[in-house]
Structure 1
Amino acid sequence: MNRFIKMPVILTALVLMMTSAFANAQEPVAGKNYVVLDQPVRTRDSSKVEVVEVFWYGCGHCYNFEPLIKQWKKRKPDYVDFQQSPAMWNATMKTHAAMFFTAEVLGVMDKLHDPIFTSMNVERKRLASADEIEDLFADYGVDRKEFQKTFKSFSVNSMVKQADARARSYKISGTPEIVVNGKYRISARLAGGQAQMLKVVDYLVEKERATLSK
C-alpha cells in the first residue's frame, strides 16, 4: 500500500529533476556563449542594468540586427538602460561616429537613424565625407550651418573619443556586439546567432539585476 502511495511522489521528483537539468543545459555559459571582461567598464547609471550595442552603420550584420534590437527595446524592463555606441577602427568609421553623435546632439536621431542605415546598406553610399553627410541631414530638414557647427564641435569630438575608448575597453572584435553592465560581451558567433544574442542578454540582465544600487 505504501509503495503505491510513494510512486507518484517519486515520479514527480524525477520530472522536476529532469526539468531542472534541461533548464540548466539551456543556460548560457561564460566563455562559451559570452565573454566575461577581465576588467569591468564603468556604466553611466548604477541604478540600472546597462546594455550597450556596439555597431557600425556600414555593417550589413548591424543592418539586419536593427529590427531585432528594436523589438527587444519595446519589451525591455524599465530597469534596463539601453544605448547604442559606434565602433571605429579607421578614419571613415570615426567620421560615421561623428555623424551618429551629431544626430544625437541635434535631436534628430529618430528621424535619421534608419535613413543612414538604408543609405549605406541599400543605396550603397559610403557617407565618407562631411559633405555627403551634410547633404543627407539637409534632406531631413537639418539646417546646414547647424550641422557644420555641430559636426566639428568640441562636444561631438569628445563623444567620439569616449566611445572609442569604451569600445577598446570592451575589447570589441566585430559588430554588432552587446555589452551587459560593463561586464559581459556577447557576439552572434558565441551566442549562436543574432536572435540568440538577445536571449543571452536577457539572461545576463536578470543575473545583474540583483547587483543594482538601491
Structure 2
Amino acid sequence: MQASRRLFCTAALLACPGIAAASPAVPAGVPREGAGYQALPDPQPTDSGKKIDVTEFFAYYCPHCYTLEPKLADWVRKQGDDIVFRRVHVPRGAAVAAQQRLFYALESLGLLDQYHDKVFRAMHVERLPLVQDEQVFDWASRAGIDRARFMEAYRSFGVQAKIRRAQAMMEGYRITHWPMVAIDGRFLTSPGMVAEAGQVSGMEALQGTLRVMDALVARAKADRK
C-alpha cells in the first residue's frame, strides 16, 4: 500500500477546502449531531426505494479522496443490498473540469467500476495532471478505451447534464469540503468532521468516519420501521 494512503495527517486535512484542524473530543459510542456528523436542515430527495441512499462527494485531484477510496469501497461491499451507493464528482473551476468530465464520461459508458481506481492511480501515483482535455483523451487511449468513443461521451449533452446535476446536488447538500458522505439525504459526515470532533487524524479519522456511517445507516433503517 502506498505511503500516501497510510498517512492522513492533520496537515493533510487542512489542504482541501473547508477542512479544519481538530477540536473538542467526541464521546465513544453512538455519535451525536455536531460530533462527527451534521443533519441537513433541508433533507434532500433520494430515489433508492427501501434501500438507504449513500452518496460520496469527491474529486479525483483530492489526496484525501484517494486515501479514503479503498476503505470506502470495502465498506460499501460489506453493506450488500442494504444501501444504494453513488459518487458525485464535485466541480471546482477550470482546473478540475476535465477530471469531472472524465468521471461522468466513464460513468455514461458503463466503465466506471473498471477505471475509477485507475484514474486515482494516474493522478496520485503516476502524477499525471489530467487538467486538459487532450491529457484526458491520451490517458483514456493508453488505458485501453476507444479514443473516439470516449471523446464522444466526454463532449455529450448527457455528460453536461450530469455536471449540472452535480452542481445542484453540491448546493442542495451544502457541500463545503471533500470527501464528504451523505446518508439517506439527511446526514453528512467526513474525515474532516470526525477529525474536528475527536482530535484524531490519519487512519483514526478514516475509521471513525466509517463507524459514523455505520451508525447513520442503522439510524436511517430504524427510522423507516
Q: TM-score range by the shorter chain?
A: 0.7 to 0.9
Helix, strand or coil at the partner of 1:123: coil
Aligned counterparts, 1:139-154, within 5 A: 139-154=142-157
Report if the CA contact (8 A) 1:34-1:185 is conserved.
yes
Helix, strand or coil at the partner of 1:41: coil
Determine if the alignment matches structure 1 residue 204 to structure 2 residue 220.
no
Q: Which of 97, 110, 114 is the aligned partner of 1:111?
A: 114
Mapped partners of 2:82, 2:113: distance in 1: 22
Q: Which of 159, 174, 179 is the aligned partner of 1:176?
A: 179
Structure 2 unpaired stretches of 5+: 1-26, 196-204
How far off its partner does 1:149 sit? Answer: 1.0
- TM-score, normalisation: structure 1: 0.84
Question: CA-to-partner distance for each residue in 1:47-71, whole Å, 9 max, x for gaps?
Answer: 2110111111111111111110111
Mapped partners of 1:168, 1:207: distance in 2: 24
Determine if the alignment matches structure 1 residue 101 to structure 2 residue 100.
no
Residue number in structure 2 paired with 1:30: 33
Determine if the alignment matches structure 1 residue 71 to structure 2 residue 74.
yes
Residue number in structure 2 paired with 1:45: 48
Higher helix share: 1
Q: Which of 187, 194, 210 is the aligned partner of 2:206?
A: 194
How far off its partner does 1:211 sit? Answer: 4.0
Mapped partners of 2:41, 2:96: distance in 1: 26
Report if the CA contact (8 A) 2:56-2:179 is conserved.
yes
How far off its partner does 1:25 sit? Answer: 4.8
Letter in 2 for 1:210: A
How far off its partner does 1:119 sit? Answer: 1.2
How far off its partner does 1:147 sit? Answer: 1.2
How far off its partner does 1:94 sit? Answer: 2.8
Helix, strand or coil at the partner of 2:185: coil
- TM-score, normalisation: structure 2: 0.80
After superposing on structure 2, the runs of 4+ consecutive aligned residues of structure 1 that deviate more than 4 Å are none
Helix, strand or coil at the partner of 2:87: strand
Residue number in structure 1 paired with 2:11: none
Mapped partners of 2:93, 2:224: distance in 1: 36
Q: Which of 132, 135, 138 is the aligned partner of 1:132?
A: 135
Residue number in structure 2 paired with 1:166: 169
Question: CA-to-partner distance for each residue in 1:136-169, whole Å, 9 max, x for gaps?
Answer: 1111221111111110100000011101110121
| Percent sequence identity over aligned pairs | 29
Relative contact order: is structure 1 or structure 2 higher (C-alpha 8 Å, sep ≥ 6)? 2
Aligned counterparts, 1:2-21, within 5 A: none
Question: CA-to-partner distance for each residue in 1:11-50, whole Å, 9 max, x for gaps?
Answer: xxxxxxxxxxxxx951101012211111111112232110
Mapped partners of 2:214, 2:49: distance in 1: 18
* Higher CA-based Rg: 1
Helix, strand or coil at the partner of 2:160: helix
